Amino acid sequence: MTVIRDEEPRDALPVRRLLEEAFGRQEEAELVEELRQNGGAAISLVAEVDGEVAGHIFFSPMTMVVYL
C-alpha cells in the first residue's frame, strides 16, 4: 500500500539515501538537509510503499527576478 504523508524527523536518513540514489551524488541530499535545518521547507512529503520511504518531494520558497 502507498501512503503519502508529511516528512517526519525519522525520515531524514531514508530520504538522504533516496536522494543520493536518485541523483547519484550527495549535493542534492545536502541541500535538502540544509534547507530543512534552516526552516526552508514550505512542503516536505514522503511516499511510503509497504512502510518504506520510496519517494520524497520538497518545496521551498524562492524569489525569481525576470529582466525583460
Tell me if 64 is assigned to some domain. Answer: no
In this structure, are strands 2-6 and 43-49 parallel, antiparallel, or unpaired?
A: antiparallel
Position 68 in a domain: no
**Is residue 55 domain-resident?**
yes
- Kindly tell me the sign of the dihedral angle through the C-alpha atoms of 31, 36, 39, 42: positive
Enter the pTM of the model.
0.82
CATH of the domain at 9: 3.40.630.30
Residue 26 lies in a domain: yes
- Number of structural domains in the chain: 1
**Does residue 53 belong to any structural domain of this protein?**
yes
pLDDT digits (tens, 9 = 90+) for 7-62: 999 999 999 999 999 999 999 999 999 998 988 889 999 999 999 999 999 999 88
Task: Print the domain residue range for 25.
Answer: 2-59
Question: Does residue 52 lie within any of the structural domains?
Answer: yes
